[in-house]
Every structure is written in C-alpha cells, then in structure tokens.
Homo-oligomer: A and B are copies of this chain.
Amino acid sequence: MAAPEYPGAAQYPEHLRDQVDRYLESLRFSTEQAAGGLEEAMRYSLLAGGKRIRPVLALATAKAIGREPVWVLPLAGALELIHTYSLIHDDLPAMDDDDMRRGKPSLHKVFGENVAILAGDGLYAEAFALLLSEQQGDPASVLAAARELAQATGVRGMVGGQYIDVAETAPFGPDGLRRLHELKTGKLIAASVGCVLDLGGNLEHETISGFRAFASELGVLFQIVDDILDVAGSAQTLGKPQGSDERLGKRTYVTEFGLRGARRLAAESHERARAVLSRAAGEQGAELSQITDFIATRSY
C-alpha cells in the first residue's frame, strides 16, 4: 500500500503514459514478411505493459523545460525499446534465468532462447534507428542525445552494471553496490532526463546541472525501492516471483543495510530528489514531481 506520508503516491502522469503506449503500439520493425516472427517477439515484450517510467520521464522533462511532450516521443520510444531489450537479456537462462516478466512468461520461454537474444539485439538497434531517424531537433542536438544514450547503455553504463551484477564474485561493499546500480539502472534513468536536455539546446548551464542532479538522485531512489520491493512487495506488484534477487545471492540495498535501513535511505533519497527538482523546475516540474513520488511510494 502507498505510504500515507506521501499524498502524491497514487498520482502518476497517466496521460503521458497513454501517449507513450500509443506511440509504442504504432511502431513497426519489419516490412519483411520473412522477419515477421522477430517483430512479433519484440512486440510481445515491448507491449507487455508497465509504468513506462523512462519514456514518461522524458516526456515530463520536455514539459518541465517548456516544450511539448510529443516532441520527444522518438527518444521516449528509444528509451523503452532499450529498457525492454535489457529485461529480455537479463531474463535469459545464462543470466538471471527468470521465467516470468510483467506477469507473463519471459520471452525465451515462449519464443526460444535464440529468438530472445535476437529480439533484444533487434530492439537495441531499432532504438538507435528510431532516435536517429525520427527525432526532431538540430543535428548537433540529436547527435548529443544519441551519444548520451550510447554511453549510458554501454560498458560505463547499463551493460557494465549488468556485468558486475552477474559476473563479479568478489565482495565489494556498499560503495560497490551503489556503483553497480548507478551503472545498471541509474544511467538509463538519468539519460531519460539528460537526453531531453541535450535535445533542448539552449538551456542555461545551471538549469541543466539542476535537472541532471535530480535525474541522478532519481536513479538511486528507483533502485533502493526496487530492492525493498523484492523482499517486501508481492509477486503481483513485481510481475515476477518475490525474493528472486535474494535467491540469486544478489547484493541489494536490503542485504547491505537491512529492510529498515533501506527504507530510511529511500526516504532520504526521496527528499533530496524533491528538493533538487523544485529548485531546477519550479512549477513546470509537476509531472516530474509526480513520477518522483510514485517511484518512492509504489506498493510498500
């Protein structure tokens, strides 16, 4: 249940999520009859629902800098394609070996492991194709956004974090844990805001650094809450079996700081995110503020 101290917990900018869902539904990845099965697999995972936090963040950021949300839909689509690709590859038998995702069988359980690998690969490629083909903006700005997205999802970002998560065996303590999550989850969440700033072009330096500080804090908050939900949430909320991190022996904020400690860290992070957002966006940050509260208070 939503914590009562956050009255905004039930609010989520559903109108932005609807825009994202309609846009994702409209995307086609193949004109070839031949590769139709691959597109079907990609859409199975892409259209499985979810809060669309990353693309909604992008649309809300556009609004917060005084632009129309619809302007960044190609970027928003690219963010969700990449997030979906990361879930597909994370679920593979060689990785976390998860049979369920968003309340449905994982992609590899339905389409096979080979198709799941290629659907992930395809989603990642189509994310860049979409951003580089469809996103409006002057070329230097689109280039900057694509560069940030590539870096956020590479070895110094999402893929590097996933590597540390699945392959590093040495103990590395709280600092290492923060670093893991900053790479694995935080960089893409930060890029969901940051790429819009890249596209925005002529923003003041102080505005940019304010939004970036907010985005970075939001990534931290997201992961702490995710770890709490893994032990304290329900399978229905998670769309996958509860406690799966624990069974895999993963290091989480809960294993490092205990459930109580993790909840305290989440509350502190939430306050910091709100404060820095308020300074950066003022009144225009209403949707970003809703997303922040939603992330902090979802189902615990």
Bitwise interface map of A from 160 to 201 toward B, beta carbon under 8 Å scored 1, else 0: 101110111000100010011001000000000000000000
State which of B114, B125, B133 has its C-beta within 8 Å of the C-beta of A153.
Answer: B125
CA distance A114 to B132 in the complex (A): 30
User: Complex formed: what's the CA distance from A192 to B163 in Å?
Assistant: 30
CA distance A138 to B140 in the complex (A): 8
Residues A118 and B162 in contact, CB atoms below 8 Å apart: yes
Number of copies: 2
Q: Within the complex, what minimum Cβ distance (angstroms) separates A146 from chain B? A: 5
Q: How many whole Å from A93's CB to the nearest CB in chain B?
A: 8
Q: Check B167–A147 contact: CB distance below 8 A.
A: no
**Chain A contacts with B in 144-167, Cβ cutoff 8 A:** 146-147, 150-151, 153-160, 162-164, 166-167
Q: A interface vs B, CB < 8 Å?
A: 29-32, 34-35, 37-39, 42, 89, 92, 94-95, 112-115, 117-118, 120-122, 124-126, 128-129, 132-133, 138-140, 142-143, 146-147, 150-151, 153-160, 162-164, 166-168, 172, 176, 179-180, 183
